[in-house]
Every structure is written in structure tokens, then in C-alpha cells.
């Protein structure tokens, strides 16, 4: 369709030159989707824009342009309102555009001019802690972005930056030893509830017993120096958590696997080098015993420069040092063009400062784009951050259980129930502007009407069931003659541009809105165009429109990480 839009623009440009001379050669008619259905398919406000420079009434300009233009059978043009040109594609063009979808497994999405290697850093839960709704958002958004970027032709490297290192492991290992749990094989079999209980016992002892706190600190040193017993128990804790995270990923149906883990621990050996290199390049300053960098342009509320702490006063390396080492690895070893961090928007200052320091240190060339895709908080029904009644963070498992329970009320069969529950949760998460907080309202997001994941799955299942009643060897799109057929055909041509837009903006809500619009056009089509009862070429065209819509719905939902069952 893109080539037709370009051709039509060129025809309008020619008409401008014919009517008003070379001065206006090359002016962009700015063809935009029509704001209202009655206006046709596209609109141009060219006459209004030319009125000033030409000193003529816009309607007169419009009439002369329409008279002069030769749209070459692509479309019909009409003067409207104060001086708009309304454009309606010819039915043949629309039919041919739908026909093109059948010859292209990528549904019109073309590979980009420059194929980028993109790291998507997402999910990133912390070992021996529960995955919470924030990690859910990162997992769902990152999964969709990874799928869209891949589909759009980029090379995606998924990285799950697991929180598997830090001082808390001193305390955890010390607690294990104190309780006589010395066998790594047994520890690696702990489930999430047991890991959390261990964490709580360790934390309580650490806070109450100064002797324990001291040995926990010594244990951190043992871990950092690679003492075998400590290291084996740490690894067992990591393994136990990874098994639990993997189970959640499987349940959610996301792409992440064990191969994508890229935990903080792997950067531990590089951390002293980070500090040394920052010192050599003159960026490092000492502040209250800590080693810090003051990147340009960051000040706190009091106007004082903000430090990025690279090494704490107690000698430990922080989260920021690890992120700096991670950037070096991604640039030097992975040769990335772009890094996308899908992390809660409360960490935006952390990332801005890390990026600034990495650029200043020369580790992050200008040619590599780094973006923090921050997202808002999931709120409970009371409009406050989602908590259980007793005030604890809602666990991911509890949340998915509730979504499955809601789906089970309307659907049968464990696979469909799971697919619907995931669709409800994911669509609700992806259909807002990412930065916005949203209320986790299960009844609303699980409804089969309105803008929800289950509604789109239902639209797909409904069209699949029509198609199942009229199996075809091949689909033949004729000329869509009914306005509802044309409307649906037009919507179908919007898939490729919206995928490109999401790959560019990293905003999945454009795709959710597009799919909802497509499902709405499908409903309008059903209302006025019987499919199975139609005959001859009309029936062939309608079946082809159904199948093209089914493919686009299925592919589009797939890019959101949502399954599209044929029966529900
Ligand atoms: N583990 C961190 C957390 O739970 C998120 C890590 C995000 N990625 C990164 N490269 N810092 O908050």
C-alpha cells in the first residue's frame, strides 16, 4: 500500500505544479488517514496550506487541483469542508493490497535498511526473592519488544540481568550453614516459598544478632574471593531461583529461557577494572570514603551535584558498577547497535547517570543507542500500589492464579483458560502508555467485550470458525465492493506500518490499538456482509478477507506474546 500512497502523493504534486507553477514543486500533500469514516480513506489539507502563499480561497485551490490531478485509477478525490481533499482508494487497489498479504509470510513488514543488533535487557528478577508485579511488567513488555524487533528484521539478544550477586548472599549462605544445610544439591531443590522463608530467617537474625551480622559480612568477602563452600551454596541458591523463574516464564509463555540469564555475578571480576579505568581517566572522586563519579548535568533538589556511587565506603561494588561493566561487555564483546532496558521508571535517573558516565569514560560510542524504557506502577483497586490485604507485595504467581480463576468462569479446558488469562494480563499491560500507572482490575481486563485481550482472541476464534466451515485450497481476493469490505481491507493494510512504528518507538500500545480497530472493522463487516451464505466471487472475496484478517490478528497477537486459539 505504501507504494500506492507514494504514487498518489506524486500525482498531487504534479497537479500543484500544473496549476500553480514550479515554485511549489515537491510540496508534500501529507496524506493522512481520514479523521472520519464518511471522509473516505485518506485526507490532505494541501489547499488550506497553499491558501496563504497563493492568496486564493482554499476551496478554489482544491477545486482546481482535483480538476488537474490524474490519480491513475488509484483513488477518487473529492473537495470537502473548508478546503480538504478527501481520498477514497479504488476497490481494485484495496483488493490487490489484501491479495499481497497472501504472498508474503511477513504480511508486508519489510526488513529495515539497516539491520541492528539489539540487546533487550528485561525481566531481571532477584535471586531468593519473589518476582512481583514490577517484574511482570518488565517481562511482558520486554517479551513483546523482543518479538516486534525480531519480526521487523532486527537481531535481538535477550538478556535477563538477574540480581544474583550482592551482600545479601553473605547473610543467606551464613544462615544455611548455621542451620546445617551444607548440601548444595538439597539447597538447589528449594522452592520459592522455602527460599523466601530462608531469606526472612536470615534477615531477622542479621538485624537482631550482631555476631551473625559480622560473620555474614565476612561471608561476603569469602564469596567474592571464590571460597569453594561459599561459592557452591551461592550457586545452589541461584539454581533454585532460576528454576522457579523458568517455571513462571513457561506459564506466561514468554520467549525467555535459561540461556538468556546474564546475571550480575558474571560482571564481578570486571568491577575492580571499572574503578581503575575511571580513576585513570580522571573521572573518579572520593566522597565520604566512597568512590564516585559526578556526571555532568545531574543535580539533586538542593542544586548540589549528584554522585554515581561506583564503590561503596565498605569496599563493596554497587549496582551502578555492574551496569557500567555490562555496557562494556555489550559494546566490546556483543558489538550491539542498540540496548533497550525495560525497567521500572523509578530507575530512570540511575540509567541516565550510568549512560552519562559510560559515554564520558569512552565505553559507549555515540553510534550505540541506549534507551531506558521505563514503565509505571501497577495499582490495586484502591488506586495505590498493588498490595495484598496484609500489606505485602502481590506475588506474580498469586496474580496469575487469580487471572486463571477469572478465565475459568467463562472458558473450559486448561490450555484455553491459560491462554485467556495470559491474554487478559498482557493486553491490559501493553495497551496503556508504558509510563502510565494502571489499575489491576481483573474483571475489566478479562471481559470478552471492550478493549481486552480475550475480546481479540474471541474475534480470532470467531473468524476461524467461519473459515473452518468453508475450507479453501487457496484464497482469491476479488474486488471488495461493499463499504464494510473496503473498510476491512483498508484496516488490513495498516499492519505493516504499525509494526514498523512499534519497532521504532518501542510503544506497544500502537499495536494493541491497531488490532482493536481491526477487530471492530471485522464486526462491522459481519453485520452487513454474510460470508457463508454469499455466492460466487463475492463469497470468495469475503472468505479471503476473513482469512487475511485471521492471519493479521494471529500475527499481531503473537507480537504481543498472546496466543490466538482457533477454538475457545
Ligand atoms: N534486578 C533489578 C531489579 O529488580 C533490575 C535490573 C534491571 N537491569 C539492569 N541492567 N540494571 O530492580
Total domains in the fold of the chain: 2
Task: Dump the DSSP string for 379-403.
Answer: E-TTSSB-B-TTSPBPBHHHHHHHH
List pLDDT tens digits, range 31-89.
998 888 888 899 999 999 999 999 999 999 999 999 999 888 899 999 999 999 999 99
Phi/psi at 225 (5° precision): -95, 5
Residue 516 domain flag: yes
Q: Is 121 in the pocket of ligand 1 (CB under 6 A)?
A: yes
Residue 270 domain flag: no
Determine the structural domain holding residue 20 and report its residue range.
2-88
Phi/psi at 360 (5° precision): -60, -35
Residue 486 domain flag: yes
Residue 130 has a pLDDT of 78
Residue 245 domain flag: no
| 3-state SS class at 286 | strand
Residue 44 domain flag: yes
**pTM of the full predicted structure?**
0.93
CA of 394 to the centre of ligand 1 (A): 19
Question: What Cα–Cα distance (Å) separates residue 490 from each residue in 75, 95, 203, 479, 514?
Answer: 13, 9, 60, 13, 12
Q: Is 124 in the pocket of ligand 1 (CB under 6 A)?
A: yes
CA of 13 to the centre of ligand 1 (A): 51
User: In which residue are the cell numbers 472520519 written?
Assistant: 36
Question: Ligand 1, from 120, 122, 124: best to mutate by most atoms within 8 Å of Cβ?
Answer: 124
Residue 30 domain flag: yes
CA nearest ligand 1 atom 2, residue: 124
The pairing of beta strand 117-121 with beta strand 155-159: parallel
Does the interface predicted TM-score (ipTM) exceed 0.95? Answer: yes
CATH number at residue 429: 1.10.730.10
Residue 341 has a pLDDT of 98
Q: Is 323 in the pocket of ligand 1 (CB under 6 A)?
A: yes
Residue 427 has a pLDDT of 97
Residue 454 has a pLDDT of 96
- Residue 33 DSSP label: E
The pairing of beta strand 84-89 with beta strand 75-80: antiparallel
Contact assessment for residue 557 and residue 474, using Cβ atoms and an 8 Å cutoff:
no
Residue 476 domain flag: yes
Closest listed residue to residue 171, CA positions, set 205, 130, 127, 194: 205
- Cell reading at 115: 539491520
The pairing of beta strand 42-44 with beta strand 75-80: unpaired
Question: Ligand 1, from 125, 129, 347: best to mutate by most atoms within 8 Å of Cβ?
Answer: 347
Residue 243 burial (10 A CB sphere; 0-12, 13-18, 19+): middle
Residue where a domain terminates, one of 70, 88, 106: 88
Residue spans of the chain under pLDDT 70? none
Residue 315 has a pLDDT of 83
CATH number at residue 61: 3.30.1360.70
Contact assessment for residue 402 and residue 378, using Cβ atoms and an 8 Å cutoff:
no
CA of 485 to the centre of ligand 1 (A): 48
Residue 412 domain flag: yes
Phi/psi at 16 (5° precision): -60, -45
Amino acid at each position: 500500500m505504501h507504494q500506492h500512497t507514494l504514487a498518489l502523493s506524486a500525482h498531487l504534486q504534479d497537479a500543484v505544479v500544473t496549476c500553480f507553477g514550479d515554485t511549489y514543486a515537491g510540496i508534500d500533500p501529507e496524506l493522512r488517514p481520514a479523521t472520519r469514516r464518511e471522509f473516505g480513506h485518506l485526507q490532505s489539507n494541501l489547499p488550506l496550506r497553499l491558501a496563504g502563499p497563493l492568496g486564493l480561497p482554499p476551496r478554489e485551490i482544491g477545486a482546481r487541483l482535483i480538476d488537474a490531478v490524474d490519480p491513475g485509477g488509484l483513488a477518487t478525490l473529492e473537495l470537502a469542508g473548508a478546503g480538504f481533499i478527501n481520498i477514497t482508494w479504488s476497490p481494485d487497489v484495496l483488493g490487490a493490497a489484501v491479495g499481497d498479504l497472501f504472498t508474503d509470510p511477513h504480511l508486508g513488514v519489510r526488513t529495515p535498511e539497516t539491520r541492528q543488533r539489539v540487546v533487550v535487557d528485561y525481566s531481571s528478577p532477584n535471586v531468593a526473592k519473589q518476582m512481583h508485579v514490577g517484574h511482570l511488567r518488565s517481562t511482558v513488555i520486554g517479551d513483546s519488544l523482543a518479538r516486534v524487533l525480531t519480526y521487523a528484521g532486527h537481531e535481538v539478544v535477550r538478556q535477563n540481568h538477574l540480581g544474583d550477586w550482592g551482600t545479601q548472599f553473605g547473610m543467606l549462605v551464613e544462615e544455611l550453614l548455621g542451620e546445617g544445610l551444607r548440601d548444595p544439591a538439597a539447597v538447589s531443590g528449594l522452592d520459592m516459598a522455602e527460599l523466601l522463608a530462608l531469606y526472612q530467617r536470615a534477615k531477622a537474625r542479621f538485624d537482631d544478632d550482631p555476631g551473625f551480622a559480622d560473620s555474614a559480612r565476612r561471608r561476603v568477602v569469602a564469596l567474592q574471593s571464590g571460597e569453594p563452600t561459599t561459592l557452591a551454596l551461592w550457586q545452589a541458591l541461584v539454581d533454585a531461583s532460576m528454576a522457579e523463574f523458568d517455571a513462571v516464564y513457561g506459564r506466561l509463555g514468554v520467549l525467555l529461557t535459561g540461556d538468556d540469564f546474564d546475571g550480575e555475578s558474571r560482571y564481578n571480576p570486571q568491577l575492580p577494572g571499572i574503578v581503575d579505568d575511571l580513576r585513570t581517566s580522571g573521572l573518579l572522586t572520593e566522597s565520604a570514603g566512597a568512590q564516585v563519579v559526578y556526571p555532568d548535568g545531574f543535580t539533586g533538589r538542593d542544586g548540589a551535584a549528584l554522585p554515581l556511587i561506583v564503590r561503596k565506603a565498605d569496599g563493596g561494588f554497587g549496582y551502578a558498577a555492574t551496569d557500567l561493566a555490562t555496557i562494556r561487555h555489550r559494546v566490546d564483546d556483543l558489538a550491539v547497535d542498540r540496548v533497550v532496558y525495560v525497567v521500572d521508571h523509578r530507575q530512570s535517573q540511575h540509567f541516565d547517570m550510568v549512560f552519562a558516565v559510560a559515554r564520558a569514560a569512552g565505553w559507549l560510542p555515540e553510534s550505540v543507542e541506549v534507551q531506558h524504557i521505563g514503565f509505571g506502577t501497577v495499582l490495586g483497586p484502591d488506586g495505590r500500589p498493588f498490595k495484598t490485604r496484609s500489606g505485602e507485595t502481590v506475588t506474580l504467581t498469586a496474580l496469575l492464579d487469580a487471572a486463571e480463576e477469572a478465565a475459568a468462569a467463562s472458558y473450559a479446558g486448561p490450555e484455553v483458560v491459560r491462554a485467556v488469562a495470559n491474554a487478559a494480563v498482557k493486553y491490559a499491560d501493553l495497551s496503556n502508555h508504558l509510563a502510565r500507572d494502571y489499575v489491576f482490575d481483573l474483571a475489566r481486563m478479562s471481559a470478552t467485550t471492550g478493549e481486552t485481550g480475550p475480546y481479540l482472541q474471541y474475534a480470532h476464534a470467531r473468524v476461524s470458525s467461519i473459515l473452518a466451515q468453508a475450507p479453501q485450497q487457496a484464497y482469491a481476493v476479488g474486488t471488495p465492493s461493499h463499504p464494510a469490505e473496503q473498510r476491512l481491507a483498508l484496516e488490513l493494510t495498516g499492519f505493516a506500518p504499525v509494526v514498523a512504528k512499534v519497532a521504532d518507538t518501542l510503544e506497544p500500545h500502537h499495536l494493541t490499538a491497531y488490532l482493536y480497530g481491526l477487530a471492530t472493522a471485522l464486526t462491522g463487516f459481519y453485520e452487513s456482509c454474510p460470508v457463508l451464505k454469499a455466492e460466487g466471487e463475492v463469497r470468495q472475496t469475503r472468505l479471503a478477507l476473513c482469512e487475511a484478517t485471521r492471519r493479521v490478528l494471529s500475527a499481531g497477537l503473537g507480537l504481543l506474546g498472546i496466543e490466538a486459539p482457533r477454538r475457545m
